[in-house]
């Protein structure tokens, strides 16, 4: 009886242990800067722009939303007219909507701009005080077309897929013909 109880507890422990992995536990650090200028100092970039597209991407196995943003005004850290901003799927996830305009204060992590929900980043219509405090920003200096690059990559991947399917069909037909001749 004690042995069965021990085995049961051991199995329960083995199944519960992965759920307690501290690498997957994340909580928001919600030390929100009190002013827009304080947030400007702390952020890697500060800009305003409209979300053109949202896609999903896994980074080190963790899902993220990646928003492609058409930048209209810049206060810090950017020159390009378009940028990708990441937010992870956690309690800190920032909710982007296609077609909405945002004032963003992202931080840089591994060469990517990230934004979380508990900061000063917000929809433009909810960030009017910040916009007044920040004053006039600058227009992007470098015009880029990231959406075109994404579309070109998709076309390239489709071409590779078509070639692979064609090659597999040729191999299958060749094997079938060889087997018919042998029989």
Residue 95 has pLDDT above 80, yes or no: yes
Pull the structure tokens for residue 77: 């850290």
Residue 14 has pLDDT above 60, yes or no: no
Q: Mean per-residue pLDDT for 120-125?
A: 94
pLDDT at 84: 95
| Residue 124 exposed, middle or buried by CB count within 10 Å (0-12, 13-18, 19+) | middle
Residue 52 has pLDDT above 50, yes or no: yes
Domain residue extents for the chain: 26-143, 145-183
Give which of 65, 53, 121 is closest to 89, Cα–Cα. Answer: 65
Pull the structure tokens for residue 26: 């994340």
CA atoms within 13 A on the CB side of 85: 33
Residue 22 has pLDDT above 50, yes or no: no
pLDDT at 155: 58
Residue 39 has pLDDT above 90, yes or no: yes
Say which residue, 151 or 164, is predicted with more confidence.
164
pLDDT at 29: 60
The top-level CATH class assigned to 26-143 is: mainly beta
Helices and strands (H, E) in the chain, number of each type: 4, 7
Estimate to the nearest angstrom the gap between the alpha carbon of 62 and the chain centroid.
10
pLDDT at 166: 75
Residues 120 and 113: their CA atoms lie apart, in Å, by 15
Give which of 60, 116, 65, 102 is closest to 86, Cα–Cα. Answer: 65
Rounded to the nearest integer, the mean pLDDT of the chain is 82
Q: Mean per-residue pLDDT for 123-148?
A: 92
């Amino acid at each position: 009886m004690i042995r069965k109880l021990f085995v049961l507890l051991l199995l329960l422990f083995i199944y519960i242990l992965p759920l307690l992995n501290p690498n997957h536990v994340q909580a928001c650090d919600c030390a929100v800067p009190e002013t827009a200028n304080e947030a400007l100092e702390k952020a890697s970039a500060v800009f305003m722009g409209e979300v053109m597209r949202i896609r999903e991407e896994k980074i080190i196995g963790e899902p993220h939303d990646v928003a492609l943003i058409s930048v209209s005004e810049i206060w810090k850290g950017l020159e390009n007219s378009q940028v990708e901003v990441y937010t992870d799927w956690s309690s800190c996830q920032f909710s982007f909507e296609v077609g909405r305009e945002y004032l963003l204060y992202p931080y840089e992590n591994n060469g990517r701009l990230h934004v979380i929900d508990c900061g000063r980043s917000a929809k433009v219509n909810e960030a009017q005080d910040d916009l007044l405090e920040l004053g006039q920003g600058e227009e992007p200096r470098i015009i880029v077309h990231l959406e075109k690059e994404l579309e070109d990559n998709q076309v390239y991947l489709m071409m590779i897929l078509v070639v692979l399917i064609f090659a597999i069909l040729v191999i299958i037909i060749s094997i079938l013909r060889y087997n018919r001749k042998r029989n």
